[in-house]
Structure 1
């Protein structure tokens, strides 16, 4: 199991606003692009999106389904990647003062990923999570202006 956390300089509502916008999925999930709604209203239970993954000149399509949602505290997804199988990706969103502590926990469920799951694979997933959570933080912080006390200091007032 690969779990990693990241402190985001915005409140949970700002993080959730990014997570619930399926158009932003490819901007924070490493390796994906070209997302589009497939079924339901993202991120309602059972809703899904499709995405593209480019490996050199080849492009593959994957699908992500919402398996559990507790707005604005938890989002659990099943990412399906065809012959590679599927993985459970759980996001835990917690208030941390005026910031948000996000923990991602991922493990293979089915297919080749589940069969070949080992410590080396978990190490690679950890590297991916570090980048993914940093992207989520940058995106959230870019889309949501800092409040008056974000980061333990007062924001400058426009004069």
Structure 2
């Protein structure tokens, strides 16, 4: 699994508000270009977020599903982006006195993306998730999701 962590000045509650609002997903997740629908139960286990990936006009409609959640602390997803495949993504929030530590762990679990050598796959995922964390931090600091 590729693992990237970043310290945020925002509280874990503020970060969770962004994560818990599925309509904000494309604003912080690199590669997600738009949200088409969000299950009413989001972010409960089993709920789906219907998104598109890619840049117009090469946009693919797909979805991601919550496989586990500890509200305010962690979210585990099966993120789909076929034809590349599927990935397991775990986002954890750890409260710190001066903010929180946010960690994203991710790796391919199905499809052609799993065939990419692990070292190359981890490097690409890590670069994307560093930018994802930057975007999430800005949205939390700006009050998104409140």
With normalisation by structure 2, the TM-score equals 0.92
Question: Paired residue for 2:35?
Answer: 35
- Report the Cα offset of residue 20 of structure 1: 0.3
Q: RMSD value over aligned CA atoms?
A: 1.5
Question: Paired residue for 1:140?
Answer: 140
Question: Paired residue for 1:153?
Answer: none
Question: Paired residue for 1:151?
Answer: none
Partners of 1:117 and 1:64 in 2: CA distance: 24
Deviations 1:68-105 (A, max 9, x none): 10011110011012232100010010001130100000
List alignment gaps of at least 5 residues for structure 2.
none
The equivalences for 1:35-114 within 5 A come to 35-55=35-55, 57-114=57-114
List alignment gaps of at least 5 residues for structure 1.
145-159
Which 10-residue stretch deviates more, 96-105 or 33-42? 33-42
Question: Paired residue for 2:125?
Answer: 125
Question: Paired residue for 1:4?
Answer: 4
- Report the Cα offset of residue 30 of structure 1: 0.4
- Report the Cα offset of residue 64 of structure 1: 0.6
With normalisation by structure 1, the TM-score equals 0.85
Higher relative contact order (CA 8 A, sep 6+): 2
Kept after mapping to 2: 8 A contact 1:53/1:59: yes
Partners of 1:34 and 1:8 in 2: CA distance: 25
Kept after mapping to 2: 8 A contact 1:108/1:117: no
Kept after mapping to 1: 8 A contact 2:28/2:132: yes
Partners of 1:109 and 1:136 in 2: CA distance: 24
**Structure 1 residue runs of 4+, over 2 Å off?**
36-40, 54-57
Kept after mapping to 1: 8 A contact 2:60/2:82: no
Partners of 1:39 and 1:18 in 2: CA distance: 16
Question: Paired residue for 2:24?
Answer: 24
Partners of 2:106 and 2:5 in 1: CA distance: 12
Q: Which has the larger radius of gyration?
A: 1
